[in-house]
């Protein structure tokens, strides 16, 4: 008797029974309720409109933690962890809601606050530059790549990083 090395599991599709009943149906006979779909799309669009307000709250949080980095240098290690977590929350979403510059800057901030990053005064200043750049993006509602202003913001941030790193 050969040893079984491959097993295939073919279970009864209970999920289909729950959602469509037992009647045999072809794929083209099945759909989602169009009215519900339209309602869900509207709900998603409405919520996406709140994104700048939501992200604005996170930028305020970043600024508050940054201030504590300045005031209490001995706590920077812990505070950098907080900045890192907030940046993580922000970085995957900017692009989703039409603000890729937010993703771009929070990506940078995420890197600058990782576990192996120095908590020097220089890096605290670089963090401030990231927060300032994000604030401009949201305040002026700079969506997409931001065209010329977007380029200036990116260049400005890079220049600040170079300056503080000298």
Partner 1 sequence: MSNIDLSHVSILVVEDSQFIRSLIVNSLRVLGVGSVQSVDDGSQAIEFIKQVKNDPMRAGMMHIDIIISDWEMSPVDGMILLRWIRRHKDSPDRFVPFLMLTGYSEPKRVHDARTMGVNEFMSKPFTINAMAEKLFSIINKPRQFVHTASYFGPDRRRQSIPIDGPDRRVLNYDSPEVEVVNG
Name the residues that contact partner 1, by CB under 8 A. Answer: 1-13, 15-16, 18-21, 23, 25, 27, 29-33, 36-37, 39-41, 43-44, 47-48, 51, 54, 85, 88-89, 92-93, 95-97
Kindly state the smallest distance separating residue 131's Cβ from partner 1, in Å. 19
How far is residue 164's CA from residue 87's CA, in Å, rounded to a whole number? 21
Contacts of residue 58, defined as CB under 8 A and 6 or more positions apart, other chains included, come to 86, 89, 90
Cβ proximity to partner 1, 16 vs 67, nearer residue: 16
Kindly state the smallest distance separating residue 13's Cβ from partner 1, in Å. 5
- DSSP character string of 88-120: HHHHTTTGGGT-HHHHHHHHHHHHHTSTTS---
Cβ proximity to partner 1, 33 vs 74, nearer residue: 33
Kindly state the smallest distance separating residue 39's Cβ from partner 1, in Å. 5
């Amino acid at each position: 008797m050969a040893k079984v090395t491959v097993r295939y599991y073919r279970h009864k599709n209970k999920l289909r029974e729950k959602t469509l009943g037992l009647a045999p149906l072809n794929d083209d006979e099945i759909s989602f309720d169009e009215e519900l779909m339209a309602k869900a799309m509207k709900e998603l669009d409405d919520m996406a409109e709140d994104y700048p307000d939501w992200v604005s709250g996170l930028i305020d949080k970043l600024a508050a933690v940054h201030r504590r980095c300045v005031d209490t240098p001995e706590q920077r290690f812990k505070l950098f962890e907080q900045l890192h977590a907030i940046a993580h929350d922000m970085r995957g979403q900017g692009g989703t809601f039409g603000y890729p510059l937010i993703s771009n800057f929070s990506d940078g901030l995420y890197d600058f606050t990782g576990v192996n990053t120095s908590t020097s005064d220089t890096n605290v200043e670089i963090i401030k530059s990231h927060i300032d750049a994000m604030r401009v993006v949201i305040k002026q509602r700079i969506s997409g790549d931001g065209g010329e202003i977007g380029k200036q913001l990116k260049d400005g941030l890079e220049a600040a990083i170079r300056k503080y790193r000298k």
